[in-house]
Structure 1
Amino acid sequence: MNSSGYTKRAIIIGAICSLVIGLWVPFSEGYLKGSYMAIDFTTGAAIFLFFVLVGGINVLLKLINKNYGLNFYELLTVYIMMIIACTIPTMGLTFYWLPMMPAAFYYATPENKWAEILLPHIKGWLTPKDPLVLKYFYEGAPRGTGVPWNAWIMPLFFWGLFLVSLYFVMTCMMVILRKQWVEKERLIFPLVQIPVEMAKQEKQEFLPTLFKNKLMWIGFIVTFIIGTINGLHHYFHFFPSIQVVSSIPIFRNTVSLPFRLSFPMMGFTYLIPTNLSFSLWFFALLNFVQRGIINITGYSINEIVDGYTQSCGNPIIGHQGIGAIIVLVLMCLWLARAHLKDVFLKAIGKRKDIDDSQEALSYPVAFWGMIAGLIFMAIWLYLSGTPGLAIPIFLFALFVFFLGATRILSEGGVPYVRAPSIASFFVISGFGTSILGPIGLASMAFTWIYAADTRTFVMGSAANSLKISEGRNKNRPLFWAIMLAVIIAMVSSVVITLKLSYQYGGINLNSWFFGAGAWWPFDFTAKKILNPTGPHPGGWLWTIIGGAVMWFLMFMHHRFLWWPLHPLGFPSATIFLVQGTWISIFVAWLVKTVVLRYGGPKLYKDLKPLFFGLIIGQFTVAGVWLIIDWIAGGQGNVLFWI
């Protein structure tokens, strides 16, 4: 048996699961409008399918013949491909990619004057041009018309080249940093613990070890029952629903303090150190206090920001987050400087003795592949209209935000991680619209496809995948497994989304992705073209303040063992979903603190399956009800948002 787990059958099953995710997730979130299964790093679709695989299909294979069942490493290979696939179909790419391509033309009206302000500056090869093609995409095609593939093929091809290059660069960066993060800094990667525990099984046993734990099933039943009751309420209103969200107004009704129970957030928070979980909810509450003070005093930096930066709660807080994430990434790279030097020397052939045999790519391939990918991306951006001077600034911000979010995910286990701002806004706010001009601004609007609502992206799941692959005797096939999952998910999700759009009309599918989510970037861009702005000094001030606070927190954390605040809490608190789930983080922190104090490490370890069960149960019941909704023809049955 191949101990690396990269067997033909594992890759084939992983490819099939990636195809299922690529087709099923857009259908369930677009047509069924049901529970979200792939909009963040909880990767609910992967957990649900993995539950079916390890608890059902693999058990049946073993019952037929014990040698037919997938082993530990094979199961995890399948899971790796699934979490990579989850980053593509909706939030991560396709549900922004396809609706946003024609959005500027479809949503242009005499009132907003986009036809004069914006449309002349959009490069023709970025989007289909035929007005009927765009109209039918949003409103549905006449019966028997079908998808006009010829109009979409070339724009999708050009975009596909860029996106595959982006994902290739992301993977190369994670290969380069894997040894530093996994072996030297020993980051805990909380999100990988569930699949690892689900895949563990004793020899000659049919069920995974976790599935024999009563506490796991208690947690599973709790969330499964809550989801079932809410699912029944959708069809039969005499069933009561169980609400897990509320809020109270504070600071003279200028701020709403939410109380939302998120079982995945509780489950993953239980797995991280208590100083980190304390810092997450502490800085989240501090964020609400800061917003309240700003609102009451009326202080403002008078800057119009994009909606994603605004979602931090205030432009000031958004800029603080930008500074914090930049310092986080720069400090992490500084700590990794010795390792990065080794990678570079290996890449240029000066240190052939450096061992990279356990990596998914050799260091020379990863390094030069990253450089080649960045050059290709720069050329593509230039051809799309981005001025040469702005390209390095944009790429710097883009990968700083991705790397920072990936670090928070890998070390902090925050499944709802998202950068505090977007790369195009960093360019506009920091350097003014003149560095871009109208054509460059139009080009930047399209970058929102892959660089705005970054609640899930390939780099984060690639980091988790490299951690999952730890301990195998060879890992070169891992790169190809990752890229195969990317390609399958891209192609399948594009096909199903186009079919759904032309059959039912995009505006009748998910109202966010095909509505405001697609319209927003071009509205923001048109206003910037019409009203140019210079570099914003207030933004720079609060970015510097945020960076200084982050540097201080990192310095204290690394220098003094008694320091109670973990630096990751500061940038994480700018994420609106962390703010929204602070009470879940608090509950998990409190439980773990009490458990460690009175029961010690043994009790903490014994209770882990309970929290695993909460997570597995939520996504299993969500998956089951999506199947029921499909059969029953129900729509809008969202059991859990997060």
Structure 2
Amino acid sequence: MQEHREQIQHRAEPTRRSSIRSIAIASSLTVAINAIIPYTHHYMHTISLVEGMMPMGVLMPFLLLVFVVNPILKAFGKGIQLEPWELVVVFTVSYVSSHINEMLGRVLATYAVMHYMATPENLWAEYAYGLVQPWMAVEDAGDRLAWFYEGLPKTETVPWHIWLRPTFWWLSFLGAIGVGCVAFGTIIRRQWVEQERLNFPFATVAEELAETAGPRGFPQYMREPLFWVGFAIPAFIVLWYIGGYFNPGWPSIFIGIENRSIRLGRYVPALHGRINFLIMAFAYFTDLQVLLSIWVFWVITWIQIGVTNRIGVVEGVGDFGGAMQQALGGFIVFCVWGLWSARDHLKEVFRQAFSKEKTLDDSNELMSYRTAVFLFLGAFGYMLLWMTKGGMNPLIAFFVVLFWFVFYIGFAKVIAMTGLVFAESPGLGIKILSIAPPDSLGPGTIAVRQVLGSCYQNGKCFAMPGGALAARMGEPLGKRGRTLGGTIVATFLLSLVAAAVSTIWLGYQDGAFNFGSYMFRVAAPRYYDGIVSSIRDIGKETHYGTRMAFTVWGALVVGVMTFCQYRFTWWPIHPIGCTLVPFHSTRTAILSVFLTWVAKVIILRVGGISLYRRGIPLVIGCVVGYTFALMISMVVDLIWFPGQGHNLFWGD
């Protein structure tokens, strides 16, 4: 496995060609995609370009470069096509910025809605107006704000000035998060890649795809028959399914597209019979112990939920019998243990940042360790100041920012280990406040906590998984890694602005309420309803002990399993599954994970590592075939079903 990984990375090593072209392509493509996504997401309602940990907004343009643009460049002359390392640069830059619209969309909807939807009945004016700082929300601008939701009259122009202040402050906050993520990804890379040797399935697949040694500029793996088998299966199913767009009576093949649920009783969650080719393809590069952990823990959790629901100990902990609180407790232990394991490396990096002595070679990193440390500390400090100025208690704000990054880092490690295309973090920074003692939060802290809930982003931890992956993919580039690091940061900030401008402009053109978007119609108002209900419920906290008991139990389970994993070489199950399985994104992926685990066990036992390597073209073909078929679906929606498209790529 390690030898194969080194062969892949060798292909990504740069030649003497200038990096200007790859940087220009990566930056312009990433900014353009982030500007286009609001249109495809809110207006076209077609294939989602933002869902998942490996969004189609990254895969689609990347594969177009590999399979369309590169062969065309090759046809025009030898040596002008994009080389593997240039394709890696494009993929890396776009991946770090791939979740901007998902985060920003809900944030923008939240800071826009306060004055527009306030009514005497919802009590926002009484409870929220005095607590949410004026710079955190669009001002009460009457019709100029209403036009954003209802559409701009033909005789009017977009009133950009009412958006400048809140958009600046929120973008600065999100920008600080993104810069901090890239900086810490640089700091932790050596520990995860060289010491712990995490798999990084996303990086492995990207490096496999970025191959140009075949004839006429096409990848060499296209000559493998197994590639075309893998390509044909998902492509045929999706293309066949497209026929149903035009004829409701068209016989459909739902495998690989739709979800089929089976209910075995009212006390247990539904079992999801969904197969996703992309999940299975990336899971092929995941460690067997990790795959086993995911599906085994889901079985255990499913039984636990049924038992706790049946005996009636679930009041106050939700429908999943305390499993959510249990996952949070386990995730805290997972994150803290991961940082503790890296303590020697982190200590050395921070010592080098604050002294002239250089004991670690950082020449191949995205940025020097000194730059990374100071950028991370600067981002940390800015977020702390932002929350404090917003009204949060300074001490509480410190712990929120601390756990914001602790949870982000932990989830980035989860993705680096699992390669799950759809996953959700059990913990976010503000979620640490769920274990705060009853009535310990003041009204100002509650208000900031609620509006920061808009940074939920389906629990995907924004740019941290991307920052870690960028550091991993940048190292083989050698000295060009510095250029890649600067490009990533600059492109990320530009993409934030492009996404915000595009969303605001589209709102005024079509009316945000006409988007039919959950984030504008449902999610954003809930945060202000949360301010009202949380303040009115001060002194009425119930079931705190029950919630904490499940949280502590989850921490103990993961703690004991972590000890066993490090203490006993025969221990078969990784504790990571305990932190993931209660959430919708993982539950709908369980069948795909299980089938991949079974297939990989059989492959390794029958043919060993050589048969495993021979199967790689098959899964690469699945990725390519599935993605190109979804691109065709988008084109069909654009031509024949504008505004009423079909999203076949979902799972968040």
User: TM (normalized to structure 2)?
Assistant: 0.92
Q: Does 1:328 align with 2:338?
A: no
Cα offset, 1:54, TM superposition: 0.9
What is the alpha-carbon distance in structure 2 between the residues aligned to residue 199 and residue 452 of structure 1?
29
Q: Name the counterpart of 1:260.
A: 274
Other structure's SS at 2:271 match: strand
CA contact (8 A) 2:214 2:220 kept: no
Matching residue within 611, 615, 619 for 2:623: 615
CA contact (8 A) 2:127 2:531 kept: no
Cα offset, 1:328, TM superposition: 1.0
Cα offset, 1:251, TM superposition: 3.7
Q: Name the counterpart of 2:178.
A: 167
Q: Name the counterpart of 1:114.
A: 124
Unaligned runs of 5+ in 1: 304-309
Give the 3 Å change call, closer, same or farther, for CA 2–594 of structure 1 in structure 2: closer
Cα offset, 1:134, TM superposition: 3.0
Cα offset, 1:99, TM superposition: 0.9
Q: Name the counterpart of 1:450.
A: 455
Cα offset, 1:391, TM superposition: 0.5
Unaligned runs of 5+ in 2: 1-12
Q: Does 1:500 align with 2:506?
A: yes
Cα offset, 1:24, TM superposition: 2.5
Amino acid at match of 1:40: G
Amino acid at match of 2:583: I
Where do 1:243-254 residues align within 5 Å?
Answer: 243=254, 244-252=258-266, 254=268
Give the 3 Å change call, closer, same or farther, for CA 433–156 of structure 1 in structure 2: farther
Q: Name the counterpart of 2:464.
A: 459
Give the 3 Å change call, closer, same or farther, for CA 251–628 of structure 1 in structure 2: closer
CA contact (8 A) 1:284 1:573 kept: yes
Matching residue within 603, 620, 637 for 1:629: 637
What is the alpha-carbon distance in structure 1 between the residues aligned to residue 381 and residue 557 of structure 2?
34
Give the 3 Å change call, closer, same or farther, for CA 558–6 of structure 1 in structure 2: farther
What is the alpha-carbon distance in structure 1 between the residues aligned to residue 253 and residue 184 of structure 2?
43
Amino acid at match of 1:374: F
Matching residue within 191, 198, 201 for 1:187: 198
Other structure's SS at 2:205 match: helix
CA contact (8 A) 1:3 1:472 kept: no
Amino acid at match of 1:63: A
Q: Does 1:597 align with 2:605?
A: yes
Other structure's SS at 1:447 match: helix
Matching residue within 551, 563, 569 for 1:561: 569
Amino acid at match of 1:215: L
What is the alpha-carbon distance in structure 2 between the residues aligned to residue 321 and residue 569 of structure 1?
9
Q: Name the counterpart of 1:290.
A: 304
Other structure's SS at 2:475 match: coil
Q: Does 1:198 align with 2:212?
A: no
Cα offset, 1:6, TM superposition: 6.8
Matching residue within 83, 97, 102 for 2:95: 83
Q: Name the counterpart of 2:133.
A: 123
CA contact (8 A) 2:186 2:366 kept: yes
Amino acid at match of 2:378: A
Matching residue within 213, 226, 234 for 1:223: 234
Q: Name the counterpart of 1:306.
A: none
Give the 3 Å change call, closer, same or farther, for CA 155–510 of structure 1 in structure 2: same
Q: Name the counterpart of 2:110.
A: 100
Cα offset, 1:502, TM superposition: 1.1
CA contact (8 A) 1:38 1:45 kept: yes
RMSD value, Cα = 2.1
CA contact (8 A) 2:205 2:620 kept: yes
Cα offset, 1:290, TM superposition: 1.4
What is the alpha-carbon distance in structure 2 between the residues aligned to residue 4 and residue 396 of structure 1?
42
Matching residue within 34, 39, 58 for 1:27: 39
What is the alpha-carbon distance in structure 1 between the residues aligned to residue 18 and residue 180 of structure 2?
22
Other structure's SS at 1:636 match: coil
Where do 1:364-383 residues align within 5 Å?
Answer: 364-383=370-389
Q: Which moved more, 1:99-108 or 1:497-506?
A: 99-108
Other structure's SS at 2:410 match: helix
Cα offset, 1:136, TM superposition: 1.8
Other structure's SS at 1:106 match: coil
Q: Name the counterpart of 2:166.
A: 155
What is the alpha-carbon distance in structure 1 between the residues aligned to residue 72 and residue 36 of structure 2?
24
Q: Name the counterpart of 2:253.
A: 242
Q: Which moved more, 1:3-12 or 1:358-367?
A: 3-12
Deviations 1:411-442 (A, max 9, x none): 1212222211443232144234432x222211
Amino acid at match of 2:464: M
Matching residue within 476, 487, 491 for 2:482: 476
CA contact (8 A) 1:37 1:619 kept: no
Q: Name the counterpart of 1:307.
A: none
Q: Name the counterpart of 1:352.
A: 358
Other structure's SS at 1:245 match: coil
Q: Name the counterpart of 1:280.
A: 294
Amino acid at match of 1:250: L
Amino acid at match of 2:575: P
User: TM (normalized to structure 1)?
Assistant: 0.94
CA contact (8 A) 1:278 1:589 kept: yes
Aligned residues: 631
CA contact (8 A) 1:301 1:539 kept: no
What is the alpha-carbon distance in structure 1 between the residues aligned to residue 273 and residue 44 of structure 2?
28
Q: Name the counterpart of 2:648.
A: 639
Q: Name the counterpart of 1:522.
A: 528
CA contact (8 A) 1:99 1:514 kept: yes
Cα offset, 1:277, TM superposition: 0.7
Other structure's SS at 1:563 match: coil
